[in-house]
Amino acid sequence: MARPAKLRCVSRLPSVGSFRPVGIPVNSLESVSLSLEEFESIRLRDLQGLEQEECAEQMRISRPTFHRVLDSARKKLADALVNGKALQIEGGNFELAQRLFRCGNDGHEWNVPFETMVEKRPLSCPVCLSDDIEPTPLPPFGRGRGCGRRFRGGRWRR
């Protein structure tokens, strides 16, 4: 049985979810799908100019894994640019660096860091100790292959 894939830490969701060439009708365009971890790898390495080791540490993955993710992202970007395809940023195998939780008892909201989310879900509100807590829903970028294993439809699944 294959080992389950590790979640990749993504610092934030992109502000734009798609790009397309100007002047070509949408219905005649092919599209390329860029995952959130691929988007994050491009942001860290090419935009911020960090070394691969630093990027891998920020995403909480090994350097060889980071290299494979970055290589895949660059190939998809090249395909979209050279062949005039639309680019969709969606899905992936990721978790946000901070996840916002809300208490159903008193409405208190707090952030839970990535490391805690990977280990276990918080069990109670830090203020009133109620176990009636829910993660706040992810925006549309969070709905994809990776999130279905842990977070679906506004409810946490173990």
- Minimum mean pLDDT range among 9-23, 77-91, 127-141: 127-141
Give me 32's structure tokens.
């390329």
- Gyration radius of the chain's alpha carbons: 18
Of 124 and 78, the structure prediction assigns the larger pLDDT to 78
pLDDT at 85 over 80: yes
pLDDT of res. 27: 86
pLDDT tier at 126 (50, 70, 90 boundaries)? Answer: confident
The residues, any chain, with a CB within 8 Å of residue 99's CB and separated by 6 or more, are 111, 112, 114, 117, 135, 136
pLDDT of res. 12: 80
Question: In angstroms, rounded to a whole number, what is the distance separating the alpha carbons of residues 91 and 146?
Answer: 6
Mean of pLDDT values over 126-135? 83
- Minimum mean pLDDT range among 10-14, 68-72, 140-144: 140-144
pLDDT at 13 over 70: yes
Query: 13 burial class (0-12, 13-18, 19+ CB within 10 angstroms)?
Result: middle
Query: What is the percentage of the chain residues whose pLDDT exceeds 90?
Result: 41
pLDDT of res. 38: 96
pLDDT of res. 121: 64
Question: In angstroms, rounded to a whole number, what is the distance separating the alpha carbons of residues 56 and 121?
Answer: 24
Mean of pLDDT values over 28-55? 94
pLDDT at 9 over 60: yes
**Domain chopping of the chain, boundaries:** 96-148
Question: In angstroms, rounded to a whole number, what is the distance separating the alpha carbons of residues 153 and 73?
Answer: 27
pLDDT at 5 over 50: yes
Which CATH code is given to the segment(s) 96-148?
2.20.28.10
Question: In angstroms, rounded to a whole number, what is the distance separating the alpha carbons of residues 116 and 34?
Answer: 27
